Amino acid sequence: MSTPTLHIILFTVLASLFVSTCCDNQSREDVALFIFGDSINDAGTNNYINTTAGFRANFPPYGETFFRYPTGGFSDGRLIVDFIAEYANLPLIPPYLQIKDDEFMGGANFASAGAGALVDTYEGFVVDLKTQLKQLEQLEKKLRKEMGSEKTKRIIKEGVYLISIGTNDYTKPLLNPALFQSISMEDYVGMVIGNITSVLKGIYEVGGRKFAMIGVGQFGCAPSRRRLTRNGSCSGEANKIAQLHNVALTSILAKLETQLQGFEYTYFDFYTSLSERIQYPSKYGFKEAKSACCGSGPYRANSTCGGQRGVKEYSLCRHPEKYVFFDSGHPSERANRQFAQLMWNGSASVVRPRNLKELFKHEGT
């Protein structure tokens, strides 16, 4: 038996166990979770495309904490979306590219590590956001053939569309200072938000009504950015553009709710939630917030975790649960659990205008 096949079997077994052991008997037959975005949400999409190890996490020590094998997710264990699936009484949602005919179970994950809202963000190495929308359209057509139009319409309408996108659109240009001499940060953010808006409207046209948006986090304080500053401080420029993005995103979400009948959303303030854990790690049960658990160099900020990305040598901490960041740019499973809990039933200070639990329960119009 090949390793990828074994991983699919293990994923399916774990998915079913996840539901049977964690969840109540409430029937959620027509509630599904559709996941879009980047490495924050990627459960293994990039295992199935022609890309490089820099955009994959399908090797140890990724996944070891919970799965005991690398699923392709960029963490030591579960991702935010894995916990959300648990809270919503759903199985672990598999990558869309992994799903075979007649295997639809609770949703699909289209997210691709490295993806951006702009098509040319790491073009050729990732599945960009607009292509992820096309995949949803393909899935909807396939479901109509398998389940019939009425049931498919209900699944699409009552489903929740969880999206994390934008960070990759900003990380690359920030390494090219000349870019922001020819275009303002505000205009560049406007291009990114324009593409996100187009995809949200595209999902709406397919039939989606419930949207869960994860804002861009305080990525200027990730280990990968700290190594680029003189004294290991946060990158002010990166954090500034993240904040500009989040202000623009919340504004467009509010507009869409008034413009599109039945459009509902929740916005998770990832920036503030991550910032709190970086500033006050012990308050949230962490011991280290500046350095990654896995990597090399100062702050373990070099993206060498697993030794498959051109450099074999890397170091790994003993206790990932004590770290906010597992690798140079991605949260640990413990941090992911905390973020998921905030998204699910947090207060309006971090998730608004409603939390995910309310969004899942609400009957669409």
Per-position b or e across 303-318, b if 16+ CB within 10 A of its CB = bbbbebbeeeebebbe
Measuring CA to CA, how many Å separate 24 from each of 18, 106, 156, 172, 360?
A: 11, 15, 23, 44, 15
Query: Active site residue: 39, 273, 303, 332, which one?
Result: 39
Torsion angles phi and psi, residue 210, rounded to 5: -115, 120
First vs last C-alpha separation in the chain: 47
- Residue 73 DSSP label: -
The token pair that represents 250 in the structure block: 């919340």
245 is catalytic: no
39 is catalytic: yes
Pairing assessment for the beta strands 33-37 and 107-109 based on DSSP bridges: parallel
Measured CA to CA, the distance from residue 181 to residue 126 in angstroms comes to 27
Phi-psi region of 37 (alpha: psi -120 to 50; beta: other; left: phi over 0): left
With contact defined as beta carbons under 8 Å apart, do 83 and 341 qualify?
Answer: yes
Measured CA to CA, the distance from residue 246 to residue 244 in angstroms comes to 6
Query: Active site residue: 112, 245, 296, 330, which one?
Result: 330
Q: Contacts for 277-285 with beta carbons within 8 Å, 24 or more apart?
A: 277/324, 277/335, 277/338, 278/218, 278/221, 278/324, 281/324, 284/338, 285/321, 285/334
Measuring CA to CA, how many Å separate 75 from each of 12, 65, 80, 187, 213?
A: 19, 9, 10, 33, 20
- Residue 75 DSSP label: S
With contact defined as beta carbons under 8 Å apart, do 293 and 316 qualify?
Answer: yes
CB within 8 Å of 79: residues ≥ 6 apart: 40, 41, 42, 43, 73, 336
Query: Active site residue: 224, 303, 327, 332, which one?
Result: 327
Whether omega before 353 lies within 30 degrees of 0, making that bond cis, reads yes
327 is catalytic: yes
Which residues are marked as active site?
Answer: 39, 327, 330
